[in-house]
Amino acid sequence: MFSSTLWHIEGCCRSSVLFLKSLKCAAFSLSHGHCSSASIVTHPSSRQKSKLSVRCRSKPQRQVCKTVLQHFDAQYREELGEQWKSARDVLLNPHSWQYGVLLNRFSDLTNLEQGLRALGYTSLLPRVQPESQSNTAHIPLQCLIHRDPFRLPNQGHQPGWLKQYFLLNAASVLPVLALDVRDGEKVLDLCAAPGGKSLAILQTATPRLLHCNEVDPHRHDWLLKTLESYVPTTLQHLLSVTRLDGRSVGGERPGAYDKVLVDAPCSNDRSWLYTPDTHQGDIWLKERAQLPLLQTQLLCSALAAVRPGGVVVYSTCTMSQAENQSVVEAILTSYQGMELLDLTQLIDSVSDHFGFAHLHPPVGHLVIPKKGQTWGPMYVCRLKRVY
């Protein structure tokens, strides 16, 4: 339906009808021109409805940091083999990146989902009944994807109005699905900013408590803004937002939660590859060597914070073995009472949309981007605290 070049729309339309008209207008501009990015700009007027104008412009080319790329080439050729070639091609071509649309069940979605489907969007997840038929069964997550690298606009923050959707790498919902939160559970999102996974949790269930923690001051403010933009005031009492050192939470609140998500700080392959300069790239690569220790400490804290019988999901957005399965292996070999849980059913349900790496050893699952399925990187692993 759309050209293969990335395009997006600027401006925020609170009217779903007006918004969908702007989508169609941008699609028309692409099909009749040669621009690499189509922009819809809204011009509000106090006397008349917003007018729409379309302009075409070229999207600035992002500069790859050669130092980081050389490091990735050496590491991932060894760890991923032939799969690195397809992942490398995607990472080096941001114009090919696809974007998922997480719909906000708390907002007015009148005509929006229907309109997006008419434009070629489909559901990431099959509409199947959950395994549990109890009253605590979760709500199906509404995440829409498109086969082309089509990006909707980021809706602006407006006090008193709830945003309709959250843009994300669709693989980012896998840790939330693996966590499998149910109504009435107490949940900790240990490294929560910018808030997409906390929001996704609330799309699937109404927990008794959702504790969203972020130690970094700037990212903590970002987290607060996200929650304010998407969660109604009637549910704010379910949320606790803190700025604690995640490594200490387990010691301060042992066994306090039913489920814990550790979306750990990592060497984000997508962003690190576009480090502004070589000097910064060198700094990040040195910091990369220290990340597994931090990640292990965070995972230990999470396992202390969850109750016996509770579940912890560990995830990153890197393909690095040292930050993924090696961290989990270290926990399994060093601590008793931990069990690695199977994710085969979840992986099978999304296998048509994602490319998965062949991990050795097979601990957890890794989504690697490839042509036509540019989701990831995303590593996810589920653990149970037995006692």
Q: What is the pLDDT of residues 289-325, one digit of tens each?
A: 999 999 999 999 999 999 999 999 999 999 999 999 9
Q: Is residue 81 part of a domain?
A: yes
pLDDT at 131: 46
Query: Per-residue pLDDT tens for 63-117?
Result: 899 999 999 999 999 999 999 999 999 999 999 999 999 999 999 998 999 999 9
How does DSSP assign 323-350, residue by residue?
Answer: GTHHHHHHHHHH-SSEEEPP-HHHHHHH
Q: Is residue 150 part of a domain?
A: no
The three-state secondary structure class of 285 is helix
pLDDT-derived band at 48, boundaries 50, 70, 90: very low
How many domains does one find in the chain?
1
pLDDT at 22: 57
Q: Is residue 336 part of a domain?
A: yes
Return the minimum-mean-pLDDT range out of 1-10, 78-87, 150-159, 235-244: 1-10
146: left (phi over 0), alpha (psi -120 to 50) or beta: beta
Ligand-binding annotation for 44, yes or no, is no
Q: Is residue 381 part of a domain?
A: yes
Q: How many CB atoms lie within 10 A of CB 154?
A: 14
Ligand-binding annotation for 191, yes or no, is yes
Ligand-binding annotation for 185, yes or no, is no
Query: Per-residue pLDDT tens for 124-147?
Result: 987 543 444 444 556 789 999 999
pLDDT at 52: 34
* Buried-exposed string 10-25: b where 16+ CB fall within 10 A, e elsewhere: ebbbeebeebbebbee
The helix, strand and coil proportions of the chain, stated in percent and rounded to the nearest 5, come to 40, 20, 40
pLDDT at 361: 76
Ligand-binding annotation for 251, yes or no, is no
Identity of residue 242: T
Q: Is residue 161 part of a domain?
A: no
Q: Is residue 55 part of a domain?
A: no
Q: Is residue 289 part of a domain?
A: yes
Q: Which domain holds residue 235?
A: 66-97+171-385
Ligand-binding annotation for 56, yes or no, is no
Percent of the chain with pLDDT over 70: 81
Query: Per-residue pLDDT tens for 164-174?
Result: 999 999 999 99
Q: Is residue 119 part of a domain?
A: no
Using alpha carbons, select from 248, 247, 241 the residue that is nearest to residue 223.
241
**Average pLDDT, rounded, for the chain:** 85
Does residue 212 carry a catalytic annotation?
A: no
Q: What is the DSSP letter of 34?
A: -
Task: Give the pLDDT mean for 356-375.
Answer: 91
Q: pTM for the full model? A: 0.87
pLDDT at 19: 59
CATH number of the domain residue 336 falls in = 3.40.50.150
Of 35, 65, 212, 317, which one is the catalytic site residue? 317
Ligand-binding annotation for 263, yes or no, is yes
Task: Check residues 233 and 12 and name the one with the higher pLDDT.
Answer: 233
Main-chain dihedrals φ then ψ at residue 384, nearest 5 degrees: -120, 135
